[in-house]
Structure 1
Amino acid sequence: MSNLPRSQTSSSSRLSTMPSQKPRQLSHLQAQLAQLTANMADLESLMRMTAEQAQDMRGLGGYAGAMFMASSKVLGEETVKGGGSGAASSGAEGAREQDK
Structure 2
Amino acid sequence: MASRSGNTDRTLVMGGGGGTTRPSMAPQQSGGVVKARQLTHLHSQLAQLSANLANTENLLRMTSVQAEAMRGLGSWHGGMFMAASKVLGEESVKEQPPQHGGSQR
Q: TM-score range by the shorter chain?
A: 0.5 to 0.7
- The total of aligned residue pairs comes to 69
Structure 2 distance, partners of 1:20, 1:56, is 54
Structure 2 distance, partners of 1:59, 1:51, is 13
Paired position in structure 1 for 2:70 = 57
Give the % identical residues.
Answer: 58
Runs of 5+ unmatched residues, structure 1: 1-13, 85-100
Looking at CA atoms only, which structure, 1 or 2, has the larger radius of gyration? 2
- How high is the TM-score relative to the length of structure 1? 0.64
Q: Which runs of 4+ in 1 moved over 4 A?
A: none
2:89 to 71, 76, 83: 76
Deviation per CA, 1:55-95: give whole Å up to 9, x if none.
011011101110110011001110112237xxxxxxxxxxx
1:27 aligns with 2:40: yes
The code of the aligned residue for 1:21 comes to V
- How high is the TM-score relative to the length of structure 2? 0.61
Deviation per CA, 1:7-43: give whole Å up to 9, x if none.
xxxxxxx9xx922201101110110011011001100
Identify which of structures 1 and 2 has the higher relative contact order when contacts are C-alpha pairs closer than 8 Å and 6+ apart: 1
